[in-house]
């Protein structure tokens, strides 16, 4: 009988050589720092990336000092002593990922500071979303083995590794293929393809201290109320008023961490009729009162600095 068993084809796809391999993800932190926070340093035998999501920080690496602003990322190679702290002016949100990789290409990231593109920020966002499906999203914004969920979402941990590899490869591509990839120097503020949406968001940002009505936006941009509500929700996923609330609450968190204004002054600056209404809105959004949020941030900074 003729053997019909198919033989392997010489030109079949083979597993590619891996440019970047992640052997282990050690920790993932998303920190909300006050303007005066300072961590006096450490070194360890694995890689660490530090990404400034909002605000500004000062870091050092083997004695060299660097100022990082929103959208910047720096890499610390294994056994490189490094510190991080606020600049005394603005609060910050900082993502820190530590991981093990012995891929030769990782030397590319030594002493590198980059400004992320929108595409790279999206990949990091996907990484964080998957990490929340594996680890508990607790008050300290801390993800590590001790915080593992009892029943992680299937495949989520593998997706974390894949997104981190994709992110690192994308950074290398942008740097080595400038003709095909463009690096944005813009800030992290969320933008959309539609210019009208971006103008409306800018209008909301500039008028957070005022009472903003849908009629005001309609008059400003010559839109009907029905069209505005449908158009904005379709493009952003939020109603206009919900988006404005998120802007105000995130600004409130930043102002609390900067510790320059009282809660009453913050309420006035963000357009709230009273500090009581501000506190109620803040607790509904964050799950903590403004004073408890302030205490939790300071306690967390003391915890990770000790």
pTM for the complete prediction? 0.65
pLDDT of amino acid 12: 59
Q: Is the CATH number of domain 24-176 2.60.120.280? A: yes
- What are the backbone angles phi and psi of residue 258, rounded to the nearest 5°? -75, -20
Task: Check pLDDT > 80 for residue 184.
Answer: no
Residues 6+ positions from 288 with CB-CB distance below 8 Å: 282, 296
What's the rounded Cα separation, in Å, for the pair 125 and 11?
Answer: 37
Q: Is 63 left (phi over 0), alpha (psi -120 to 50) or beta?
A: left
CB-CB contact of 258 with 91 (8 Å): yes
Averaged pLDDT for residues 46-54: 95
Question: Which sequence spans correspond to the domains of the chain?
Answer: 24-176, 195-305
Question: In this predicted structure, what is the pLDDT of residue 181?
Answer: 32
More confident residue, 148 or 273: 273
pLDDT tens, position by position, 89-104: 999 999 999 999 999 9
Phi, psi torsion values for 22, nearest 5 degrees: -100, 115
Q: Residue 238: pLDDT above 50? A: yes
Q: Is the pLDDT of residue 15 over 90?
A: no
Residue 159 pLDDT level (bands cut at 50, 70, 90): very high
**Residue 187, CA distances (Å) to 71, 111, 116 in order:** 6, 22, 9
Output the CATH code of domain 195-305. 1.10.10.60
């Amino acid at each position: 009988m003729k053997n019909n068993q198919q033989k392997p084809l010489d030109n079949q796809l083979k597993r590619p050589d891996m440019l970047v391999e992640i052997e282990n993800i050690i920790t993932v932190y998303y920190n909300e720092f006050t303007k005066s926070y300072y961590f006096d340093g450490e070194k360890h035998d694995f890689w660490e990336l530090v990404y400034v999501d909002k605000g500004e920080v000062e870091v050092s690496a083997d004695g060299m000092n660097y100022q990082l602003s929103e959208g910047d990322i720096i890499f610390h190679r294994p056994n490189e002593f490094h510190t991080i702290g606020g600049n005394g002016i603005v609060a910050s949100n900082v993502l820190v990922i530590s991981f093990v990789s012995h891929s030769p290409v990782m030397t590319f990231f030594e002493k590198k500071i980059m400004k992320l593109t929108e595409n790279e920020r999206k990949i990091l966002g996907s990484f964080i979303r998957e990490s929340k499906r594996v680890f508990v999203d607790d008050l300290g914004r801390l993800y590590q083995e001790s915080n593992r969920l009892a029943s992680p979402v299937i495949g989520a941990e593998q997706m974390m590794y894949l997104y981190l590899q994709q992110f690192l490869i994308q950074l290398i591509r942008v740097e080595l293929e400038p003709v095909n990839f463009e690096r944005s120097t813009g800030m992290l503020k969320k933008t959309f393809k539609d210019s009208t949406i971006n103008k409306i968001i800018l209008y909301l940002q500039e008028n957070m201290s005022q009472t903003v009505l849908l009629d005001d936006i309609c008059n400003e941009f010559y839109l009907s109320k029905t069209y505005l509500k449908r158009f904005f929700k379709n493009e952003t996923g939020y109603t206009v008023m919900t988006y404005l609330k998120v802007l105000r609450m995130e600004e409130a968190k930043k102002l609390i961490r900067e510790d320059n204004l009282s809660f009453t002054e913050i309420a006035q600056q963000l357009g709230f009729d009273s500090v009581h209404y501000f506190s109620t809105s803040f607790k509904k959004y964050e799950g903590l009162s403004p004073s408890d949020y302030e205490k939790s941030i300071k306690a967390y900074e003391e915890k990770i600095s000790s």
